[in-house]
A = this chain, B = another copy of it.
Amino acid sequence: MESPTVRGKVGAQVDNEPKARAGGALPYELIELFFFAYRDFVSDPDRILAELDFGRAHHRVLHFVNRNPGLTIAELLDILKITKQSLNRVLKELVGTAFIEVRTGQADRRQRHLHATASGHALAARLAAVQGERIRQALNNVPAAAHPAIEAYLTAMIDPQERKQVLSRIRKGPVG
């Protein structure tokens, strides 16, 4: 999983900019650590995806479909915050290669419910495994007592308006 390049609409954010930063120096170390940590975090899946001629976009789609079986197109667009045109190309490839299956909605036949196939689930698990391994190894470098703090820290890095929605989606996600 890798962060999408959100272009175009930048989102209406009100005056969020710190004026003078009264309190001391900028945390350059943490800024750069986060940058490099994320860079390497996504490099593991990249190697696997390259074997299949997939990119990070495929990873994101497969990941969230796998974690949220029956997800509709609209819901997926809302998570990924991309346009349906962008999604379509990637999704078509994942469906064409039988990693994802599309089922017409029962209640509402306009909707498309997305499901990972067996091989889709396997690939998603393989991708999550390499990222999970990196996380596990990193946690080993930190006292177990501090593990909840790391989760709290990452949670607090998420936009407050998004936080609740993100958390509910993460926690409910029962499919491993």
Residues of A whose CB lies within 8 Å of any CB of B are 1-6, 10-11, 13, 16-18, 21, 23, 25-44, 46-48, 50, 56, 67, 125-126, 128-143, 146, 149-159, 162, 166, 169-171, 173, 176
Contact status A47-B153, CB under 8 Å: no
Contact status A29-B129, CB under 8 Å: no
Contact of A39 among B4, B133, B150, B151 (CB under 8 A): B4
With contacts A35-B2, A37-B157, A158-B37 known, is A151 near B30, CB below 8 A?
Answer: yes
Q: Which residues of B contact A67 (CB under 8 A)?
A: 28, 32
**Shortest Cβ gap from A151 to chain B (Å):** 7
With contacts A25-B176, A130-B17 known, is A159 near B43, CB below 8 A?
Answer: yes
Contact status A153-B142, CB under 8 Å: yes
Q: Which residues of B contact A135 (CB under 8 A)?
A: 27, 30-31, 34, 157
Contact status B158-A32, CB under 8 Å: no
Contact status A11-B43, CB under 8 Å: yes
State in angstroms the CA–CA spacing of A30 and B25 once bound together.
29
Contact status A40-B159, CB under 8 Å: yes
State in angstroms the CA–CA spacing of A40 and B159 once bound together.
6
Contact status B133-A18, CB under 8 Å: yes
State in angstroms the CA–CA spacing of A125 and B21 once bound together.
11
A sample of 20 cross-chain residue pairs with beta-carbon separation below 8 angstroms, ordered by A number, consists of A2-B35, A5-B56, A6-B39, A17-B129, A17-B133, A18-B130, A25-B176, A28-B132, A29-B151, A33-B154, A33-B155, A34-B38, A34-B135, A36-B158, A37-B154, A40-B157, A137-B156, A138-B156, A139-B156, A150-B153
